[in-house]
Amino acid sequence: MALRRKLIAGNWKLHKTVEESLELAGQLSAGLKRDDLDVLVCPTFPALFPVAQRLKGTAVKVGAQNLFWEDQGAFTGEVSGPMIKAAGAIYALVGHSERRLHFAESEKTAALRVAAAWRSGLTPILCVGELLQERETGRMEGVLESQLAGALAGVSTAQAGGLVIAYEPVWAIGTGKTASDAQANEAHAYIRGWLSYRFDKHVAESLKILYGGSVKPANAAGLLNQSEVDGVLVGGASLDASSFLGIIHAI
């Protein structure tokens, strides 16, 4: 089995001013006691550049929470891949369920954003996940398949190995309900199997699949110890240095 380095990513969502973001970034880099895994934070757009500057030369990397699919032009209010890259980020979240829910994002726009991320030299973290009702009616695999197939439609096998996928069951995001270790592992195994079929075995084995949904210091070790779980994407618990560091140091 391929050895996949774990990635612990924090999604700060619509939280923290620039000053507060810098404070948290400083606390994280000062408190990080290990270099055997990757650590990433995704601040708001105004904080992206200052946080990247503050974290330069540390082990904590920076990502954006979204990106637009055009590089420049008359698109008021949008931020593009080249701008994000120039600000010091190396990752971009794509298709987060909150974007799908509140901003009508679809598989089609996720595919455009994935392509824009690659073009700009950013690693896309593609978020997929089912609603509670979809899980309860036995449609989890079908939902994951259509989200993956749609968003990765234009991705070549050569590109696919560098992707990151985040499995985030929507019913577990910000709700305090976490998928059990076994539920997470099972969904990740389904995603990896699908990737092997769509691309190849080597891609599927090398690509990281993160779990996201109410991850906290208390449940992180169980999830991170699953064979198919290559890291976590953390929302609420990434807003406080001691809880995010607790997750990072959980295993």
**Residue 224 interacting with ligand PEP (CB under 6 A):** no
Annotate each residue in 88-117 with x if it binds ligand PEP (CB under 6 A) or - if it does not, as one string.
------------------------------
84-92, 168-176, 185-193, 195-203 -> range binding ligand PEP (CB under 6 A)? 168-176
Which of 170, 235, 244, 245 contacts ligand PEP by CB under 6 A? 235
**Residue 11 interacting with ligand PEP (CB under 6 A):** yes
Size of the site for ligand PEP (CB under 6 A): 14
Short-list 247, 145, 160, CA closest to 203: 160
Q: Which of 105, 134, 168, 228 is catalytic?
A: 168
**Residue 214 interacting with ligand PEP (CB under 6 A):** yes
145 is catalytic: no
What DSSP assignment string belongs to 171-208? GGSSSS----HHHHHHHHHHHHHHHHHHS-HHHHHHSE
Q: CA 36, CA 34: separation in Å to the nearest integer?
A: 6
* Residue 122 main-chain phi, psi, to 5 deg: -105, 145
51-59, 180-188, 234-242, 243-251 -> range binding ligand PEP (CB under 6 A)? 234-242
**Residue 228 interacting with ligand PEP (CB under 6 A):** no
**Closer to ligand PEP by Cβ: residue 95 or 213:** 213
Q: CA 247, CA 238: separation in Å to the nearest integer?
A: 9
Q: CA 40, CA 11: separation in Å to the nearest integer?
A: 9
**Residue 124 interacting with ligand PEP (CB under 6 A):** no
Q: CA 121, CA 161: separation in Å to the nearest integer?
A: 14
**Residue 63 interacting with ligand PEP (CB under 6 A):** no
168 is catalytic: yes
CB of 238 to ligand PEP, least distance (A): 7
CB of 90 to ligand PEP, least distance (A): 18
Which residues face 231 on adjacent strands?
7
**Closer to ligand PEP by Cβ: residue 99 or 203:** 99
The CA angle 48-245-89, to the nearest 5 degrees, is 20
**Residue 10 interacting with ligand PEP (CB under 6 A):** no
List for the chain the helix, strand, coil content (%; round to 5): 45, 15, 35
Rounded to a whole number, what is the distance in angstroms from the first to the last CA of the chain?
20
Say if CB 213 and CB 201 are below 8 A apart: no
**Binding positions for ligand PEP, rule: CB under 6 A:** 11, 13, 168, 173-174, 212-215, 233-237
Positions marked active-site: 96, 168
